[in-house]
Chain A
């Protein structure tokens, strides 16, 4: 269990006491090591149940879940949880502890030597963009929502667990901060490659974050488990199609960037309206419509022209 591990749900079932119908109904899927799997669905579809089954905050009533081939039933529950990073919606930071102490919690209970804990806290705060000198000694209430959630993520990464469970981690943030945090997490994930289960009810977030998306329906039934492209282009049934939305054609455009296209040669163009090569096709289409133009120039990050995008090019790519 070092840098990443795969997670296998094998007919995983949960029926809560006093309930006839299962909250999660024989879920079978495999999350390959190092990937992000988004559990997507409306409320009451069992996605949070599926998540908390993995760290046994909820106990299975049927089937099995294996991490790196080992059943979670066979592991000591405390040891299991210490090997899994857990991030929840409101961050759940300990209000009476400083940021540094919050992050140090799991290393402390694992009995790491002090200097190692200090180094790790410093490293993690750096990683999430909150310099230790400025933020280490503050209390959670002194941070913004987005900053708190960064600390929540740093805390979850503290003992370098191979797995991350994230339960709507950005759900309480405003849209701008939210998008920013999504990008930040993707950047972070590219560095640490933890196998990540990510609960969301937001198709846009799922498409953005997921290497794969598991669409769940009421009663905890898995409708489709696929890549974002496949979910958008070939929804398994009407329910998935409706959940994905009538604008799934547009959403699919967010998955591709201008740099993926073979652009037409650069031919000058309107000032200030130039697109960037790392803009998504959706952004490009929106800009084309807004400008009322058939074609717009594209530049690289430094502003050097790299080509021209046209409405036809986008239509062909979609």
Chain B
């Protein structure tokens, strides 16, 4: 219990260090999520628009869920060596499945009658996508981004194993920072993940608000 309380003293005493590592941590996470979204969103949305690819997205999502992040980093250690590229790759691989699956579902779940009406009225495929499908997909799409972000922020802790920096540097270095430091950094990561979840949740609600004029 003493150690646990000590962690708050550590936070106060090493605020600069924690802030520094937090910025590292967030930059790494943001870069990984951004890259994953660039890869996953267009592919998922396109597959959803075509109404095919459910096998691909479901498989990717299942594999993604089954892969332990530490194992992933270890595998990439062998392939890519120590450093930023390794960690980024591992985090992107973690973030792609939820983003891809949600992007696919976000478009695929749209009422087929609505899309059929749009097509029958003479909207081009591009107009169907931008005017109809994407606005309707946004809430689910956003859930995917939210899950990916939370996932990556918590997993980025393991970046330290491969020399990627971030708050994991403190958590995995009890020798230097003591148990109170480890707990402090761990709490910090948990808070970051929760904050990211809340932030994206709020943005998602804001996006969805005012639409549809109530339930259907």
Q: What is the interface of chain A, defined by CB distance below 8 A to chain B?
A: 52, 55, 57, 78-84, 86, 88-96, 105-106, 109, 138-142, 152, 155-156, 165
Interface residues of B in 187-216 (CB under 8 A from A): 211-216
Q: Is the CB of B122 within 8 A of A92?
A: no
Interface string of B150-172 (1 = CB under 8 A from A): 00000000000000000000000
Q: Which residues of A contact B121 (CB under 8 A)?
A: 81-82, 86, 105-106, 155-156
B124 within 8 Å of A by Cβ? yes
Q: Is the CB of A141 within 8 A of B213?
A: yes
- Closest beta carbon of chain A to B142's beta carbon, Å: 14
Interface string of B106-118 (1 = CB under 8 A from A): 0000010110111
How far does the alpha carbon of A28 sit from the alpha carbon of B202 in the complex, in Å?
Answer: 58
B132 within 8 Å of A by Cβ? yes
Q: Is the CB of A96 within 8 A of B135?
A: yes
B120 within 8 Å of A by Cβ? yes
Chain B count of residues within 8 A CB distance of the other chain:
23
How far does the alpha carbon of A155 sit from the alpha carbon of B211 in the complex, in Å?
Answer: 20
Q: Which residues of B contact A84 (CB under 8 A)?
A: 120, 122
Q: Which residues of B contact A152 (CB under 8 A)?
A: 117
Q: Is the CB of A142 within 8 A of B113?
A: no
User: Closest B-chain residue to A92, C-beta based?
Assistant: B117
Q: Is the CB of A93 within 8 A of B120?
A: no
How far does the alpha carbon of A80 sit from the alpha carbon of B116 in the complex, in Å?
Answer: 15
Partner of A106, one of B122, B136, B212: B122
Q: Which residues of A contact B136 (CB under 8 A)?
A: 94-96
Q: Is the CB of B114 within 8 A of A55?
A: no
With contacts A88-B116, A96-B135 taken as known, whether A109 is within 8 angstroms of B123 at the C-beta atoms is yes
- Closest beta carbon of chain B to A147's beta carbon, Å: 13
With contacts A88-B117, A95-B136 taken as known, whether A80 is within 8 angstroms of B122 at the C-beta atoms is yes
Q: What is the interface of chain B, defined by CB distance below 8 A to chain A?
A: 111, 113-114, 116-124, 127, 131-132, 135-136, 211-216
How far does the alpha carbon of A96 sit from the alpha carbon of B213 in the complex, in Å?
Answer: 8
Q: Is the CB of B212 within 8 A of A96?
A: yes
Q: Is the CB of B212 within 8 A of A139?
A: yes
With contacts A82-B121, A88-B117, A92-B117 taken as known, whether A109 is within 8 angstroms of B212 at the C-beta atoms is no
With contacts A78-B124, A105-B123 taken as known, whether A96 is within 8 angstroms of B211 at the C-beta atoms is yes
How far does the alpha carbon of A152 sit from the alpha carbon of B113 in the complex, in Å?
Answer: 12
Q: Which residues of A contact B124 (CB under 8 A)?
A: 78, 109
Among all A-B residue pairs, the 4 with the closest Cβ atoms: A139-B213, A92-B117, A81-B122, A82-B122
Q: Which residues of B contact A140 (CB under 8 A)?
A: 213, 216
Q: Which residues of A contact B132 (CB under 8 A)?
A: 94
Partner of B118, one of A52, A80, A94: A94
- Closest beta carbon of chain A to B109's beta carbon, Å: 12
Q: Can you show 23 pairs from A to B with CB atoms below 8 A apart?
A: A55-B120, A57-B119, A78-B122, A81-B121, A83-B122, A88-B113, A88-B116, A90-B113, A91-B117, A92-B113, A94-B117, A94-B132, A95-B111, A95-B114, A96-B135, A96-B136, A105-B118, A105-B123, A106-B121, A109-B122, A140-B216, A141-B214, A156-B121
How far does the alpha carbon of A152 sit from the alpha carbon of B120 in the complex, in Å?
Answer: 12
- Closest beta carbon of chain A to B135's beta carbon, Å: 5
Q: Which residues of B contact A105 (CB under 8 A)?
A: 118, 121, 123, 131
- Closest beta carbon of chain B to A100's beta carbon, Å: 13
Partner of B117, one of A79, A80, A86: A86
Q: Which residues of A contact B214 (CB under 8 A)?
A: 139, 141-142
- Closest beta carbon of chain A to B175's beta carbon, Å: 56
Q: Which residues of B contact A55 (CB under 8 A)?
A: 120
- Closest beta carbon of chain B to A136's beta carbon, Å: 13
Q: Is the CB of A92 within 8 A of B119?
A: no
- Closest beta carbon of chain A to B156's beta carbon, Å: 35
How far does the alpha carbon of A81 sit from the alpha carbon of B132 in the complex, in Å?
Answer: 17
Partner of A92, one of B114, B127, B131, B213: B114
How far does the alpha carbon of A204 sit from the alpha carbon of B77 in the complex, in Å?
Answer: 73
Q: Which residues of B contact A94 (CB under 8 A)?
A: 114, 117-118, 131-132, 136
How far does the alpha carbon of A156 sit from the alpha carbon of B117 in the complex, in Å?
Answer: 10
User: Closest B-chain residue to A80, C-beta based?
Assistant: B122
Q: Is the CB of B213 within 8 A of A57?
A: no
How far does the alpha carbon of A45 sit from the alpha carbon of B158 in the complex, in Å?
Answer: 62
Q: Which residues of B contact A96 (CB under 8 A)?
A: 135-136, 211-212
Partner of B215, one of A86, A92, A141, A165: A141
